[in-house]
Homo-oligomer: A and B are copies of this chain.
Amino acid sequence: MKGLTVVAIVAVALCVAAMTMWKSGLAAVTPEKVSAEALKQIEGEFMKAAQERGAAGYMSYYAEDAVELPDGAPAIIGKASIAKGMGFLDDKNNRLTWSAVGADIASSGDLGYTWGNYEFLSKDKDGNQHFERGKYTTVWKKQGDGSWKVALDMGNKNGMMK
């Protein structure tokens, strides 16, 4: 009976080892999780990049297949096309700031969104200042290289334009 006991112990040990390895394998294919709060932080870095490097910094956070839903114009699909409309971020007369209010993320940690408020201070050709307040939604998607990029961005104003 001693031989049988040894065999049974070895079999159970092998079983535990197999389940442990299998579990590790599962963990390896599950994307590293970040919290909704972490998405807000990423959004803070996104704004910092835009403030420091203008349109180039802003666009560096966009996914190649991103969708922009601009206020006052039809949808724009693809990073290259979206970039064409972001030159205003390079004009020192313009100042765009935004702050996340809410965020959520999927349990798989590969898709999430933030929403919040923005302020846009600009100066027209005659030197008159304009101030606009609005809201935005940004959908964030984890990319193949582990970075988070903007999959969709949309904004609208808090007040009707005169």
A residues in contact (CB < 8 Å) with B: 3-4, 7-8, 11-12, 14-15, 18-19, 22, 31, 67, 69-75, 101-102, 104-108, 110-113, 115, 117, 135-137, 139, 141, 151-152, 154-161
Contact = CB atoms under 8 A, between A and B. Distances in A.
B156 A139 contact: no
A11 to B, nearest CB: 3
Contacts of A154: 115, 135, 137, 154, 156
A152 B113 contact: yes
A151 B75 contact: no
Contacts of A156: 69-72, 154-156
B4 A11 contact: no
A125 B118 CA distance: 34
Residue picked from A11, A18, A67, A102, most chain B C-beta under 10 Å: A11
Contact of A157 (B67, B71, B111): B71
Contact of A137 (B7, B69, B110): B69
A143 to B, nearest CB: 13
Nearest to A154: B137
Contacts of A11: 7-8, 11-12, 14-15
